[in-house]
Structure 1
């Protein structure tokens, strides 16, 4: 027959076991959180090249004209270039970059379109490499195992003419493609939606990259892909610039 002592001891033992289990679970959570924090600190940013974090305070930045084109989508879904929109977008985008001087720095050199034409081979090479980054650096089965998830891409000595011509330490390249549904396309989308069909309107895609002109390495890269944004108007264009430059390396 259970004694009075056993009736008193059993709840105490159960309480002790529950307390020990809770303490163990809490310790495990703390250890897991610490390990996760340590791993996040050790994991390199997918936007930065290995070993690169900031630009030197006295470094000089070269800004090249954006490679940009805007399109209209017809009722039938045909994409047609709009030179008037592209011209307006170039001006709005340039003004948006000018508004980011606190982020870009004070020692900034800009090339106009005519000057940039002299370096068409460099910009074409950069476009090819940036396209490869967009394809292989976003994660998934297209990742290159040899890169080990690192932003490890370079233009090599091809950037030397830019360095010699401008004396800059870094160059900022930008590329944007933007499309907008025409009025007829919007009506067609509404009609198709009523029938249960899904049709897409415009899309804004682009990238921005920072190239070290001393080594040719792409040290920072950011990409944009969304169904919003409008480069045809000044205020929305500033928002697009800010989105592209998110995480741009600071001066220190």
Structure 2
């Protein structure tokens, strides 16, 4: 290779290697933030319980007021369940689904989990003063013995909790956004916020957690719901071979 070519390509090669290393490091950091200390994978014989998703969809009016849409929520529940079924290779074969009526018997556990998960969203993924020094940026959260009734009833080793809130701009809101954009102003439309949480039912620990917080996504239709669930379960712990 000519000397001038070597001098030209070497900086490009170094820059490429540096960029690759940075992306890899960021991916590893994101993965480590999703997992509890010491947890890496589920055992081959472990059983997974999937609880009904806590989900609600909203329409955003021209003035930015969000209003619940029961019809959208019902469609989203069905699409979300179907999308989870398509995740069988990731979730494993030993999966039990709990229906809404059964889950109502454990409302105290789901309420407790919601409170702990909210704390994870705020303090684990928050920045600056929102972080708790005692946690040292580790996913170190637990529901304790409160989850034992779920384990005793189902025999499952882990439980998957999911929570989703979706809002969509109405036609009037979209028209207003276009008008404001023409004037140089920025206004927000809908957003998709949610999380998935894997709890060890033998210890109560949250061993894996992932969140969504974005301006895209749509659970009202089957195809985009597949993408939402796939993104939500990114990094979900594999089963040991």
Band of TM-score, shorter chain: 0.7 to 0.9
Match of 1:204 among 192, 206, 221: 192
Q: TM-score, normalised by structure 1?
A: 0.83
C-alpha displacement of 1:205: 0.5
Shift of 1:218: 0.1
Deviation of 1:229 after TM superposition, in Å, equals 0.5
Q: Which SS does the other structure have where 1:132 is aligned?
A: helix
CA 227–115 in structure 1, closer or farther in 2 if over 3 Å, else same: same
Q: CA distance change for structure 1 residues 119 and 185 in 2, over 3 Å: closer, same or farther? A: same
1:178-217 counterparts in 2 under 5 A? 178-217=166-205
Give the alignment's TM-score, normalised by structure 2. Answer: 0.87
Per-residue deviation, 1:195: 1.5
Q: Which residue is equivalent to 2:163?
A: 175
Q: Answer yes or no: is the 8 Å Cα contact 2:31–2:235 preserved in 1.
A: no
1:215 is displaced (CA, Å) by 0.1
Q: Post-superposition shift, 1:41?
A: 7.8
Moved over 4 A (4+): 40-44
1:134 aligns with 2:158: no
In the alignment, is the contact (CA less than 8 A) between 1:44 and 1:50 conserved in 2? no
Q: How far apart are the structure 2 equivalents of 1:140 and 1:51?
A: 24
How far residue 42 of structure 1 moved from its aligned partner, in angstroms, is: 10
Q: Who is 1:19 aligned against?
A: none
Do the aligned partners of residues 166 and 42 (structure 1) sit closer, same or farther apart at CA in structure 2, a change above 3 Å counting?
same
Distance 2:187 2:28 in 1: 42
Q: What is the DSSP-based 3-state SS (H/G/I as helix, E as strand, rest coil) of the residue aligned with 1:45?
A: helix
SS at match of 1:197: coil
Query: Does 2:68 match 1:81?
Result: yes
The 1:41–1:216 alpha-carbon spacing in structure 2 relative to 1, beyond 3 Å, is same
User: What is the DSSP-based 3-state SS (H/G/I as helix, E as strand, rest coil) of the residue aligned with 2:196?
Assistant: strand
2:208 to 217, 220, 225: 220
Q: CA 1:72/1:41 → structure 2, altered by over 3 Å: closer, same or farther?
A: closer
Which segment is superposed worse, 78-87 or 187-196? 187-196
What count of residue pairs does the alignment treat as equivalent? 219
Residue 166 (structure 1) aligns with: 154
Structure 1 residues 41 and 236, CA, compared in 2 at 3 Å: closer, same or farther?
closer
Deviations 1:96-123 (A, max 9, x none): 0000000000000001111110000000
* C-alpha distance in 2 between matches for 1:194 and 1:173: 42
Which structure 1 segments of 5+ residues have no match? 1-25, 27-33
**Residues of 1 paired with 2:235 and 2:98: CA distance?**
23
5+ residue gaps, structure 2, are: 1-13, 15-20
> What is the RMSD of the two structures over their aligned residues, measured on CA atoms?
2.2
